[in-house]
Chains A and B, each alone.
Chain A
């Protein structure tokens, strides 16, 4: 069964901490995405990657960075976590012609 996995379902971090969210897909997809989802705001794209070591900013990249050293893994980094980054983070991947497959999400709380 093909899937997208995320390293944690729930995460609690303190303000100012560096936070790593990991996403792995086993479908050999070229494209990977990080979204955040907040009530009333829907899904907003943070960053995406269309190839190894390639990345592009989405709609809300401020305060985030990403890393894609291997095709199957896409990491989201919060350089210095802040309370306004408390959210549900969703990773997705897609291949040419196909749709997006999503991971289970990570609910991050920054206190």
Chain B
């Protein structure tokens, strides 16, 4: 059964730092992996989607990588800003299924 883990659970950094959020999954036979952002009391906003055949995706200051063989993905945020403060979740869709399995998230606080 697929399990998704995110470490650390919470992270506090000063503004301007580059940072890495980690996501690991137990079964490498995935269809795709998605990173989301969630602000308090709101829905999830899709940040990046990486298909199983891809190694990375970039959007602005965000870069997500995928290493299926090791069961890992990282979300890199460059030059962090207070507006980046949110909870970041990764989710994995297994091959042959429509369902996504979510990690429990990393709560990020960027200090001004």
Contacts and interface: CB of A to CB of B under 8 A. Distances in A.
Interface of A: 4, 31, 33, 42-43, 45, 48, 50, 58, 88, 90, 92, 94, 97-105, 107
B51 interface: yes
Nearest to B51: A97
Given A31-B98, A48-B99, A102 B43 contact: yes
Contacts of A48: 98-99
A88 B43 CA distance: 9
Contacts of A105: 41-43
B34 A100 contact: yes
Contact of B91 (A4, A31, A58, A100): A100
Nearest to B46: A99
Would you list the 8 A-B pairs with minimal beta carbon distance, nearest first? A99-B49, A102-B44, A99-B34, A102-B43, A42-B104, A104-B43, A43-B102, A105-B43
Interface string B92-112: 000000111011110000000
Interface range on chain B (Cβ under 8 Å from partner): 20 to 34
A104 B91 CA distance: 18
Given A99-B34, A105-B43, A94 B98 contact: yes
A96 to B, nearest CB: 9
A97 B102 CA distance: 18
Contact of A103 (B43, B51, B103, B105): B43
Interface of B: 32, 34, 36, 41-46, 49, 51, 89, 91, 98-100, 102-105
28 contacts: A4-B43, A42-B103, A42-B104, A43-B89, A43-B102, A45-B99, A48-B98, A50-B98, A58-B99, A90-B43, A90-B44, A92-B44, A97-B32, A97-B51, A98-B49, A99-B46, A100-B44, A100-B91, A100-B100, A102-B36, A102-B43, A102-B44, A102-B45, A102-B46, A103-B43, A105-B41, A105-B43, A107-B41
A71 B53 CA distance: 29
Contacts of B45: 102
Contacts of B34: 99-100
